[in-house]
Structure 1
Amino acid sequence: MTDTPHHITAPQRLDHPNRADHLDSPERVKERDRKRRRLLILIVSVVVVSAFVKLISLLFFSNTVSTDNAYVGAETANISAMINGQVIAVKVSDTQQVKRGDVLLILDPSDANIAVAQAQAQLAKAQRQFNQSSANIDGLNAQLLVSQDDILRAKAQVVQAEVHLERIAAEFNRRLKLSQSGAISKEELATAQSAYNSARADIEVAKAGLTQAESKRNAAQSTLNASKALIEGTTQANLPDILVAKAQLKQAQLDLQRTVIRAPLDGVVTRRDVQVGQRLAPGVTVMMIVPVSKLYVDANFKESQLQRVRVGQSVILTADLYGSRIKYSGKVMGLSGGTGSAFALIPAQNASGNWIKVVQRLPVRIQLNPQQLAEHPLRVGLSMNATIELNSKQ
């Protein structure tokens, strides 16, 4: 009987060999505390690091705004002919560096030379007409004096004819009375009648001569007035016809000069699209010149970045062409009058029902340092990174 309990308790210990493991041992408690401390330290470290990064950002980086949406631009010059003409020589090629005044291409000057010769002839003709008009005035003055003499002579003839008519009329009346008494023959009366009629006709002729003389005088006076109106108070320097002829000559000479097309500025030739023998029309672009020494950057900043951006602030730029080792110093020249989407070919229709707000970007024009451009040349369209220093001098 005494062995039974021992026999029974033994199996119980065998059935639960790990019952003590369910109780926390000191080692397990220590291990769990160490893990909790490490987790707590990790959390605190993350919080401290985040706060430190935020503090650094506030202290050092809140005074700048940056974007990599920036590109090099330039005020390029479009080269085109200003007159019609056939190309006889092309002096440049793509990528060639040119200076202001260098010859780019030459047009056939034959037509322009002919136009200059015609304009010179028109000017000479106008000057000769002025001299002729001046000489005609003297002749018209002399003619007017002659006409005045003719009028005086015609008036004298009229007076003479009237006196003669009075005498003939008196003789005719006397003979008419005598014929009534039979003292003279009918032949004598007829002769007196003829003389009277002839005297009356002479008066009409004299009066007609006077009218003709007066008409000649009036015509001469009108011609003189017209000639004076054309040139009176003028010289060859200010006569309208001569001024028009001189203007036409200048235009012809200008067209002749335009047969030689020159570079309007320093730069690099690009997009040359002209060949010898090609006939050009005015206004058609045949090449472009990019002023690589006067480039700028258009940086497209988000609208949320522009609150403190002002004209004159300093800008640090880097080009993808050279990498971050080459830095350019620039200055804000101005902000565009509208966003890129506002001036797009097809502007966004934000009034539609499926509208989704999109952060807009506004182009900021940045001036580059010419000396740095000379040391590290750029080209239009290259990508740039721009950082505006908001606390810089404005």
Structure 2
Amino acid sequence: MSTITRIHEHDVETVVENFTSEEDAANAAKRKKLFLRFGACVAALAVAYGAYDAFYASAHVETDNAYVGADVAQVSAQVTAPIREVLVSDTQAVKQGDVLVRLDDTDARIALARAEANLALTERRVRGLSATDNGLAAQIAARAADETRATASLASARADVEKAGVDLKRREALAASGSVSGEELTLARSAFATANANLRAAQAAVALAAANRAAAAGTRDANRVMIENTTTETNPEVLAARAARDQAKVDLERTVIRAPFDGVIARRSAQVGQRAEPGKSLMAVVPVQAAYVDANYKEVQLSKVRPGQAVTLTSDLYGSSVTYHGTVVGFSGGTGAAFAVVPAQNATGNWIKVVQRLPVRVALDPKELAAHPLRVGLSMNADIDVSK
């Protein structure tokens, strides 16, 4: 019985050993098959990644560090005046030319009336200068006539002096013989003295007439300088007065502040009664229909990026269901770190190299913006096709 039992146990052990060896062989085959499958998967993934890199990744550069921007207009007054009326509020959409703020125009209207009055006065004064020129020409002619008359009087006085001198000499010659009385000689001497006095007066009159004519000519020359080669419309004084009038008109028009372009009102600080001053911001107008994207790419991504390349963008606001199409416009003049408020001091001893990012400006399709408006500061994902 024990022999039979030992034979049976031996057979069982043999069967168990055979079964174990068969199981190990099956497991080894299975492991080999799994390793082959894993190797095939790794090879397929490598081939897929190589194909992805060759046909897509090498032709695209992507970043999620991109934000919507726009050339925001800071609306401020150009003249100093109290605010009379504010017609818009934050988030309100406006069109180009819409009235945003009205200022008190009382001072501007008074200034315009004063400028118009000054212009009219200046035009009258210039026309008066033209009329004065004609009057001065007549005065010169009159002074010339006076000079001619004085010259004639001088010639007459000289003739009288000669005649009185001849008479005096004749009487003095006859006085020695007693043919001429003393009284008659005295009268002759008086007549000669009077003639000399009249001569000196005539000479003075000629000099005075000449001086008056020269003065009239000088006055006319001075007057002509003011109007020479000009008309009333082109006279410098009139032009200056007209420019002052035009400036007053512009200042009056500037009491009405209008939207510079289509957009949305933001950061409104204007209040009725507040005194508006040039350079002091009253509100901002954001041109949402002219928004762009600044995509901050790593410097190692930009070797193939060129202006004009196509860009595909998605916004966190709408998700991947809305796709925008844009174009690379250009690159910023410096990295974000270079233009930071506190730029990095790399000259210090604790310098660590950090990959820099350079803003790339992307222009968006206006039609797509109109269909799905964006706002300044929203996050975007940008993908530049660098294959072309």
TM over 0.5: yes
Q: Where does the alignment leave 5 or more consecutive residues of structure 2 unmatched?
A: 1-19
Residue of structure 1 equivalent to 2:245: 249
Task: Give distance in 1, aligned partners of 2:188 and 2:207.
Answer: 29
Output aligned runs, 1:359-378, within 5 Å: 359-378=355-374
C-alpha distance in structure 1 between counterparts of 2:101 and 2:310, whole Å: 42
Query: How many Å separate the matches in 1 of 2:265 and 2:42?
Result: 58
Give the corresponding residue for 2:6. none
2:39 corresponds to 1:47: no
Helix, strand or coil for the counterpart of 1:148? helix
Q: Which residue of 2 aligns with 1:69?
A: 65
How big is the shift at 1:238?
1.2
Give the deviation of 1:188 after TM superposition: 4.6
Aligned equivalent of 2:209:
213
Higher mean C-alpha displacement, 28-37 vs 249-258: 28-37
CA displacement at 1:349 relative to structure 2: 2.7
Q: Distance in 2 between matches of 1:279 and 1:83?
A: 10
Between the aligned residues of both structures, percent identity stands at 49
Measured after TM superposition, the shift of residue 96 of structure 1 is 0.4
Unmatched runs of 5 consecutive residues or more in structure 1? 1-24
The answer as to 2:229 corresponding to 1:233 is yes
1:157 partner amino acid: S
**Which is worse superposed, 68-77 or 43-52?**
43-52
* Residue 112 in structure 1 maps to residue 108 in structure 2: yes
Matched, 1:100 2:82: no
Deviations 1:238-283 (A, max 9, x none): 1111111111111111111001000010000000111011111112
1:232: Cα distance to partner?
A: 3.0
Match for 2:190: what amino acid?
Answer: S
Q: How far off is 1:297 after superposition?
A: 0.4
Q: Which amino acid aligns with 1:44?
A: G
Match of 2:194 in 1: 198
CA RMSD of aligned residues (A): 2.2
Give the drift of 1:215. 1.1
Aligned to 2:338: 342
TM-score by length of 2: 0.88
Task: Measure how far apart 1:79 and its partner are.
Answer: 0.5
1:6-25 to structure 2, matched below 5 A, reads none
What is the distance in 1 between the residues matched to 2:26 and 2:351? 57
Please name the residue that 2:294 is paired with: 298
CA distance in 1, matches of 2:65, 2:282: 31
Partner of 1:14: none
The total of aligned residue pairs comes to 368
Cα distance, 1:157 vs. partner?
A: 0.9
Residue type matched to 2:75 in 1?
A: I
Paired AA for residue 89 in structure 2: S
CA distance in 1, matches of 2:89, 2:31: 75
**TM-score using structure 1 length:** 0.87
Matched, 1:388 2:384: yes
Letter in 2 for 1:212: L
Deviation larger for 231-240 or 211-220:
231-240
Cross-structure match for 1:163? 159
Q: For residues 94 and 36 of structure 1, what CA distance do their matches in structure 2 show?
A: 69
Summarize deviations over 1:50-69 as a string: whole Å, max 9, x none. Answer: 41342243233221111010
Q: Is 127-136 or 200-209 further displaced after alignment?
A: 127-136
Q: In structure 1, what is the Cα distance between the partners aligned to 2:243 and 2:94? A: 33
1:330 to 326, 330, 342: 326
Q: Which amino acid aligns with 1:200?
A: N
119 and 388 in structure 1: CA distance in 2 versus 1, 3 angstrom threshold: same
CA apart distance, 1:375: 1.7
Select the residue among 111, 121, 125 that pairs with 2:121.
Answer: 125
Cα distance, 1:370 vs. partner?
1.5
Q: Distance in 1 between matches of 2:107 and 2:176?
A: 95
- More displaced, 91-100 or 313-322? 313-322
1:262-310 superposed Cα distances (whole Å, 9 cap, x missing partner): 0010000000111011111112111110011111100000111111111
